[in-house]
């Protein structure tokens, strides 16, 4: 499979290059040149297949030309060492729980897949030179990437995070791991961390010294595997005879997760329509209404992993539908919620069903409660476990959310990090010694 850039000015790349580079030379996002339709027979029997079997079929359609079948099989099965179940919340509203992975959020799926695919390419190259992943984080990306790559041979991860600006629950998920993960605590803000990473990629001397790569969420190896769980959700709903008028609702920030669902739809997945649920950052919602895409600075909200004012993957959606606003707005509708509405939704849902929503999932649940038509069945993604936002959730619902054991284990671990100034010279000097 070849990959082209959404900006149309970069050379065509193969999978290996697209994964290692992440972003194309013209700063566009990589798109597969073809989206293979899956045969009708697959959809006819899908409810008899396991999550891993389904995922392997989907993975083969994207990556089968570039990865040996046995290796791809192992990558998929190893990535999906946990389930993504569909659970009924209330009436015809179901949730696709994406928080059963190591860091309790959906980004685990993409991060684990990318780590294993990168390892496959390193082994194939056979020069045994260690690859170093640099990632800047304001919280959640760092933990997903660090845990996704944890213990993966041949790869070392450096997580840069702003000192005192990530929550203790987030911090422990990437500072207590040890092994091939190094946490770097930068005396600055998130933008300083990002600048250090960008400068490192551009520094010729450093790149001659060590092999550097990014694990950005726009990477094709992180975003495409997210399609796996939408196929599985369809299968599990079909098992219950509820899949005929399915509406998929995705709480969205950078729009990578919903974009993977749309790719699934292009492969033939019978979802009737999609809803992109937003917090107060309503750029896509406005685009659907007006046809104008107008990025804005992001606003801070309760659902902070969706605080994005210029969603990167809009470029992919735009490209996928030939830049047609008519096509996009026919398939996808939008919703936008204030923090006050998110709180109200969490309380209402808990009272009516006992289900504890996290602030991101709350946007998805409410968009279905507001938008489902008679005869439709809705599934929204619960993108993170409520315990990840324990302080907020406890305060809003007046409860004491139980912390799952795998999160508690991180919290008992010993914090280890390297203190760093925001000066690139210091960061470079540190890396040159590694
Ligand atoms: C990253 C994230 C989102 C947003 O996903 P996108 O793919 O960026 O749209 C939503 N919820 C949670 C909990 C996240 O971590």
Q: How many residues are there in the chain?
A: 434
DSSP 173: H
Q: What angle do CA 19, 115, 222 make, to 5 degrees?
A: 55
Q: Which helix (H) or strand (E) holds 315?
A: helix 314-320
* The pLDDT value given to residue 413: 94
* The pLDDT value given to residue 275: 98
Closest ligand 1 atom to Cα of 254: 8
Q: What angle do CA 258, 306, 243 make, to 5 degrees?
A: 30
pLDDT surpasses 80 at 127: no
* The pLDDT value given to residue 221: 97
Q: How far apart are CA 214 and CA 22, in angstroms?
A: 7
Q: Residue 213 pairs with which residues in a beta bridge?
A: 133
383 lines ligand 1 (CB under 6 A): yes
Q: pLDDT tier at 126 (50, 70, 90 boundaries)?
A: confident
Catalytic residues: 107
Q: How far apart are CA 139 and CA 183, in angstroms?
A: 12
Q: How far apart are CA 272 and CA 263, in angstroms?
A: 14
% of the chain surpassing 70 pLDDT: 100
Q: pLDDT tier at 168 (50, 70, 90 boundaries)?
A: confident
- The predicted model gives 411-422 an average pLDDT of 96
pTM of the model: 0.95
Name the residue of 29, 97, 105, 367 to mutate for ligand 1: max ligand atoms within 8 A of Cβ: 105
% of the chain surpassing 90 pLDDT: 90
- The predicted model gives 193-203 an average pLDDT of 92
- Closest by CA position to 372, among listed 96, 98, 97, 94: 94
pLDDT per residue as tens digits for the range 303-332: 999 999 999 999 999 999 999 999 999 999
pLDDT per residue as tens digits for the range 264-291: 999 999 999 999 999 999 999 999 999 9
Closest ligand 1 atom to Cα of 384: 13
* The pLDDT value given to residue 140: 81
pLDDT per residue as tens digits for the range 59-79: 999 999 999 999 999 999 999
- The predicted model gives 194-198 an average pLDDT of 91
* The pLDDT value given to residue 243: 97
Q: How far is ligand 1, taken at its centre, from the CA of residue 45, in Å?
A: 31
Q: Are strands 2-5 and 30-32 parallel, antiparallel or unpaired?
A: antiparallel
- The predicted model gives 189-207 an average pLDDT of 92
Low-confidence winner among 37-41, 87-91, 215-219, 409-413 (lowest mean pLDDT): 215-219
pLDDT surpasses 80 at 386: yes
Nearest CA to ligand 1 atom 15: 305
pLDDT per residue as tens digits for the range 97-122: 999 999 999 999 999 999 999 999 99
- Closest by CA position to 6, among listed 167, 186, 218, 206: 218
Closest ligand 1 atom to Cα of 257: 7
* The pLDDT value given to residue 179: 96
Name the residue of 226, 230, 257, 263 to mutate for ligand 1: max ligand atoms within 8 A of Cβ: 257
384 lines ligand 1 (CB under 6 A): yes
Q: How far is ligand 1, taken at its centre, from the CA of residue 239, in Å?
A: 28
* The pLDDT value given to residue 167: 84
Query: Which DSSP string do the residues of 110-137 spell out, in sequence order?
Result: HHHHHHHHHHHHHHHHT--PPEEEEEE-
Question: Mean pLDDT over all residues of the chain?
Answer: 96
pLDDT surpasses 90 at 166: no
Q: How far is ligand 1, taken at its centre, from the CA of residue 254, in Å?
A: 7
Both tokens assigned to 208: 């001659």
255 lines ligand 1 (CB under 6 A): yes
End-to-end CA distance of the chain: 35
Closest ligand 1 atom to Cα of 252: 9
* The pLDDT value given to residue 281: 96
Q: How far is ligand 1, taken at its centre, from the CA of residue 257, in Å?
A: 7
pLDDT surpasses 80 at 399: yes
Q: How far is ligand 1, taken at its centre, from the CA of residue 206, in Å?
A: 32
């Amino acid at each position: 499979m070849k990959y082209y850039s959404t900006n149309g000015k970069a050379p065509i790349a193969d999978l290996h290059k697209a994964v290692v580079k992440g972003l194309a030379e013209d700063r566009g996002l990589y798109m597969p040149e073809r989206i293979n339709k899956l045969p009708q027979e697959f959809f006819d029997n899908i409810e008899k297949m396991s999550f891993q079997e389904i995922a392997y079929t989907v993975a083969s359609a994207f990556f089968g030309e570039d990865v040996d079948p046995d290796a791809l099989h192992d990558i998929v099965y190893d990535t999906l060492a946990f389930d993504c179940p569909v659970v009924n919340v209330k009436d015809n509203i179901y949730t696709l729980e994406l928080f059963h992975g190591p860091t309790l959020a959906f980004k685990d799926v993409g991060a684990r897949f990318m780590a294993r695919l990168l390892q496959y390419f390193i082994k194939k190259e056979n020069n045994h030179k260690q690859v170093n992943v640099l990632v800047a984080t304001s919280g959640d990306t760092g933990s997903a990437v660090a845990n996704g790559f944890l213990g993966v041979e041949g790869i070392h991860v450096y997580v840069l995070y702003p000192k005192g600006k990530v929550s203790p629950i987030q911090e422990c998920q990437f500072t207590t791991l040890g092994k091939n993960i190094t946490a770097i605590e930068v005396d600055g803000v998130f933008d300083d961390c990002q600048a250090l990473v960008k400068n490192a990629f551009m520094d010729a001397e450093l790149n001659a010294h060590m092999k550097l790569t990014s694990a950005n969420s726009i990477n094709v190896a992180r975003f495409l595997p997210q399609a796996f769980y939408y196929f599985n959700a369809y299968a599990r709903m079909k098992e219950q005879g509820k899949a005929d008028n399915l509406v998929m609702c995705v709480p969205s920030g950078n729009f990578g997760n919903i974009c993977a669902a749309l790719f699934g739809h292009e492969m033939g997945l019978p979802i009737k329509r999609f809803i992109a649920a937003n917090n107060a950052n309503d750029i896509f919602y406005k685009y659907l209404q007006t046809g104008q895409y107008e990025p804005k600075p992001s606003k801070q909200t309760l659902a902070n992993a969706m605080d994005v004012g210029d969603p990167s993957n809009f470029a992919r959606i735009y490209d996928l539908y030939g830049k047609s606003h008519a096509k996009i707005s026919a398939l996808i509708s939008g919703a936008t919620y204030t923090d006050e509405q998110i709180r109200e939704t969490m309380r209402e849902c808990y009272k009516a069903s006992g289900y504890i929503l996290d602030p991101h999932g709350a946007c998805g649940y409410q968009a279905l409660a507001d938008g489902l038509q008679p005869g439709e069945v809705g599934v929204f993604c619960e993108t993170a476990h409520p315990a990840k936002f324990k302080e907020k959730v406890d305060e809003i619902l007046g409860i004491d959310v139980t912390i799952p054991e795998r999160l508690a284990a991180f919290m008992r671990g010993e914090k280890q990090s390297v203190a760093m100034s925001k000066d690139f010279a210091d960061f470079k000097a540190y890396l040159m010694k590694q």
